[in-house]
Amino acid sequence: MEPILKVEHMEKYYGSRGSVTKAVDDISFEVRAGEFVGIMGASGSGKTTLLNCLSTIDAVTAGHIYLEERDITCLKSGQLSAFRRRKLGFIFQDFNLLDTLTAYENIALALTIVRTPASEIDVRVRQVAKELEIGDILEKYPYEISGGQKQRVACARAIVTKPTLILADEPTGALDSKSSRMLLESLETLNKNLLATILMVTHDAFTASYCRRILFLRDGKIFNEIVRGDNTRKQFFSRIIEVQTLLGGDNSNVL
């Protein structure tokens, strides 16, 4: 299958002459349609910078990012927001739901931003809500529902516009383990049933174990890559821990 996301020699430097921090240092990888990819790494490894660049919130210093063969590093600022709303869906760590809107309206908001006809909105919101099992809380406000439910509403908001790529930034960061599991199972369902392509950033091995493939970042570089293949989730989890041990061990040698 064709890769829908292609990152080529991407670099992102912060600071000016004299003291340059290489947050992302010459990274290249591909994501194919329908993949569920995880990006892991410790704090400061460059995960968030990478995600910000992918989501066009931040600009790269060098290199190219192609989404459906379009180079998004060359987009003008006017095109950027158009690109963002058509091609990308976001899931944030702190849900980022609008507290003034009901769950239904939060999901519908993403559709109104892409100017979906009003007649279509209801069908699509209810469809995605059914998929994520939040049909019965649609009329509630964010403060009335649990964290897990909030995050699933956020998922629904991300998927409802049928984006090419869903970017999830530590989606389980603010959830307890039970809610985390439910959310990740939802993401898996989205990935399998609706063939959504998901790129998830996390530092939690359990969360990462739901992915099909994991890229490990360290100091702005890809350190390792593992594929789940036919492994059960538990086996995959053990492998992730192994890599993390390696990463940690190596770290102490570096220091």
The one-letter amino acid code at 107 reads I
Spatial neighbors of 148 by CB under 8 A, at least 6 apart, are 175, 176, 178, 179, 180, 182, 183
Binding mask 196-235 for another protein (x = CB under 8 A): ----------------------------------------
HSE of 103 in the Cβ direction (CA atoms, 13 Å)? 29
CA distances from 14 to 19, 25, 40, 47, 64 (A): 9, 11, 21, 14, 17
The one-letter amino acid code at 128 reads V
The one-letter amino acid code at 223 reads F
HSE of 170 in the Cβ direction (CA atoms, 13 Å)? 15
Instruction: Give min distance, CB of 85 to another protein, in A.
Output: 2
Residue 110's closest CA among 155, 166, 56, 158? 158
Name the phi and psi angles at 20, rounded to 5.
-105, 130
Instruction: Give min distance, CB of 76 to another protein, in A.
Output: 13
Neighbouring-strand partners of residue 224: 216
User: Which listed residue (16, 19, 43, 100) binds another protein by CB under 8 A?
Assistant: 100
Restricted to residues 115-154, the positions that interact with another protein (CB under 8 A) are 115-116, 118-119, 121-122, 141, 143
Which residue carries 């058509």 as its tokens?
86
The answer to whether 57 contacts another protein (rule: CB under 8 A) is: yes
The answer to whether 113 contacts another protein (rule: CB under 8 A) is: yes
Name the phi and psi angles at 81, rounded to 5.
-70, -35
Binding part of the chain for another protein, among 18-26, 35-43, 66-74, 77-85 by CB under 8 A, reads 77-85
Nearer Cβ to another protein (120/250): 120
Q: Nearest-5° angle of CA 203, CA 73, CA 167?
A: 30
Nearer Cβ to another protein (196/243): 196
Spatial neighbors of 108 by CB under 8 A, at least 6 apart, are 121, 125
Binding part of the chain for another protein, among 9-17, 66-74, 102-110, 197-205 by CB under 8 A, reads 102-110
The one-letter amino acid code at 158 reads A
Binding part of the chain for another protein, among 74-82, 128-136, 216-224, 246-254 by CB under 8 A, reads 74-82
The answer to whether 110 contacts another protein (rule: CB under 8 A) is: yes
Instruction: Give min distance, CB of 123 to another protein, in A.
Output: 12
User: Which listed residue (33, 101, 145, 174) binds another protein by CB under 8 A?
Assistant: 101
Binding part of the chain for another protein, among 62-70, 88-96, 129-137, 216-224 by CB under 8 A, reads 88-96
Chain residues in the site for another protein (CB under 8 A): 55, 57-58, 78, 81-86, 88, 90, 96, 98-101, 105, 108-116, 118-119, 121-122, 141, 143, 157
